[in-house]
Structure 1
Amino acid sequence: MNYTEQLENLQRRVDDTVDEVRLAAAEDHEQLAARIDKNQNDVQSMLNQGRDRLDQVSSQLDSTWDQVKADASAKMSDVKAKMEQRRKERNAEAATSDAEWAEADAASAIDLATWAADNARLLVLDALDARKYADDLTELAAQHR
């Protein structure tokens, strides 16, 4: 498995996200709505691809990824519902409260992504170590034959 390539792809996605957030910060509500719709479609497509890959290797994985996918799908639906409700909102105090909740959700998502990156680092290092150890034992066994 090419972990370096996967991590470089992740880095590009993070860089693209930073660029997109910079652009989005200057957009109006309608432009943001269109951007959110596009991103939700992209995430759904990615979840579908992930589901296909999981089906291929499901015997090797536990239910954690299934839960992550379900949580992501539910979060996407929740964001869309909140956005639609927000468009109907005419109360400034309620809109401010909604904005604060959305900002807190965004901060939590960044925290989760940070944890995921840290966890991925640890798991990649563990996988590299496990492969190295297995290779060393295989080599040692071959020497004793």
Structure 2
Amino acid sequence: MDFSARLDALQTSVAEAKAAVQAAATESRDQLRQRIDQAQGDINRGVRDAEQQARAAADSGRSKWAQMKADAATKMDDIKAKIDKRNAEVDANIAANEAAWAEEDAAGAIDYAGWALDNARLAILDAIDARTYADGLAKTAGS
């Protein structure tokens, strides 16, 4: 498996997310809503993919990661619901509290992404070690 290529793709995704966040900081609420809708669509596609992967790999370790991805997507649905609720709010104090909670959620999501990356690194190293060990055994058995 080409882990380097997959990490390159992840790095590209992080760069795209960073660029989107930087651009969003100067956009109108209508433009932000469009970005949010697009991000929600991306997440929904990811959920469908994760659910398919979980069904396909129900008895393997991969299903755990697919389930984690699906659980994270559920969290994104909660965020979308909060956004919709916020749009209905008129009180400035309530809106300020909602903004603080949204910022805490965003910080938590970034922390979770870092944790997931650490786990991905460990899983990749474990996979490389397992493959090296298996290849070594196969070579010894063939000798």
Tell me which residue corresponds to 2:78: 78
Give the unaligned 5+ runs of structure 2.
none
Could you tell me the TM-score, scaled by structure 1's length? 0.90
Amino acid at match of 1:72: A
Amino acid at match of 1:36: I
Distance 1:26 1:69 in 2: 30
Higher relative contact order (CA 8 A, sep 6+): 1
Percent identical residues: 43
Tell me which residue corresponds to 2:21: 21
Tell me which residue corresponds to 2:59: 59
Larger gyration radius, structure 1 or structure 2: 1
Amino acid at match of 1:103: E
Tell me which residue corresponds to 2:99: 99
Could you tell me the TM-score, scaled by structure 2's length? 0.91
Distance 1:40 1:123 in 2: 28
Distance 1:5 1:136 in 2: 24
Question: What whole-Å deviation, never above 9, does each CA across 1:2-34 have from its counterpart, x for those lacking one?
Answer: 111111110000000000000111112121111
Give the unaligned 5+ runs of structure 1.
none
Task: Note the aligned Cα RMSD (angstroms).
Answer: 1.6
1:39 paired with 2:39, answer yes
Query: How many pairs does the alignment contain?
Result: 143
Tell me which residue corresponds to 1:116: 116
Tell me which residue corresponds to 1:68: 68
